[in-house]
Amino acid sequence: MAETGRLTAPARARRWVQAHPVTTLRIVIIVAVLLVWEGLARSGWLYRDVVPSWVAIGRALVVTLSDATFYWHLYTTFYEIGWAMVIGGVSGLAVGILLGGSKLMQRAYEPLLYYLGPCPKIIFFPVMIMWFGVGPGSKIAMGAISCFFPVALNVAGGMREIDKVLIRVGRSFRANTWQMVTKVYMPAMRHPIINGVRLGLGVCLIGTLLAETKLSNAGVGFLVIQSYTLFNMPHMYSLLIVLFVIAIGANALIGKLGGLDQIRRS
């Protein structure tokens, strides 16, 4: 290793590239996209601001992030997603347990869920607007509906997969129904539950933001559409970057959730 000190800078760079091929390739693609973008922005081929320069986007991002009302909109979006997850998750869990616990319920209702599940939820949006108004209510409803299906279907499937002997153990110790649910069924279903929540969070983000961009008066989705109608492209791109970061954050959170099953319970 004594040699390393005498290596020239380019030689050291080459060595680093050889040692980190994956990272290098990633950096290459990002830099390439940024360069092409910037080239397009400066070429003048496209109408002004359709592809704004990174400088303009960066400046708009600073403006966005230093604007107090932006944080209110951001809060609104998080608030909607949070409640949508709680409502969709809890109802999905309850329905999933009901379906998984009863053959009759399963035969009667599970096909319905299978058909409705992949249906684009946005078709319910007009109804939700009429029921819950243009504000956060209809967005929460959209997110909750989206989240409900994957949670319910995963829980129902997970319930049937439970090791039957564990249920017999619980019963042999005379656990009541509530104890069976909280101390046997739920922990035994932790993997499908986490999986359902994972999928649910993804579609919940889609449902909520899509609803915000369609018809709303608050939220990041609303800001995006507003800046679009005002043709403030740098601002719109800065918001898209924010949404991108939120999506990455949600993914990281989901990754954490995925790791939850490794976390030991007391």
Binding site for other proteins (CB under 8 A): 163, 165-166, 168-175, 179, 183-184, 187-188, 190, 264-266
Unique residue bearing structure tokens 């969070």 = 201
Strands (E), the chain: none
The Cα 80–Cα 82 span in angstroms is 5
Q: How many CB atoms lie within 10 A of CB 113?
A: 19
- Least spacing, CB of residue 131 vs other proteins, in Å: 40
- Least spacing, CB of residue 163 vs other proteins, in Å: 8
- Least spacing, CB of residue 169 vs other proteins, in Å: 5
The Cα 215–Cα 212 span in angstroms is 6
- Least spacing, CB of residue 144 vs other proteins, in Å: 28
Nearer to other proteins by Cβ, of 41 and 184: the residue is 184
Distance of alpha carbon 160 from the chain centroid:
27
Assess contact for 98 and 180: CB atoms under 8 A: no
Nearer to other proteins by Cβ, of 152 and 188: the residue is 188
Nearer to other proteins by Cβ, of 56 and 175: the residue is 175
Using alpha carbons only, what angle is made at residue 114 by residues 152 and 140, rounded to the nearest 5 degrees? 50
Assess contact for 143 and 80: CB atoms under 8 A: yes
DSSP-based three-state secondary structure for 66: coil
Nearer to other proteins by Cβ, of 180 and 241: the residue is 180
Q: Among candidates 144, 141, 104, which has minimal Cα distance to 125? A: 141
Nearer to other proteins by Cβ, of 107 and 183: the residue is 183
Nearer to other proteins by Cβ, of 74 and 159: the residue is 159
The Cα 259–Cα 241 span in angstroms is 27
Q: At what angle do helices 68-101 and 220-229 cross, to 10 degrees?
A: 130
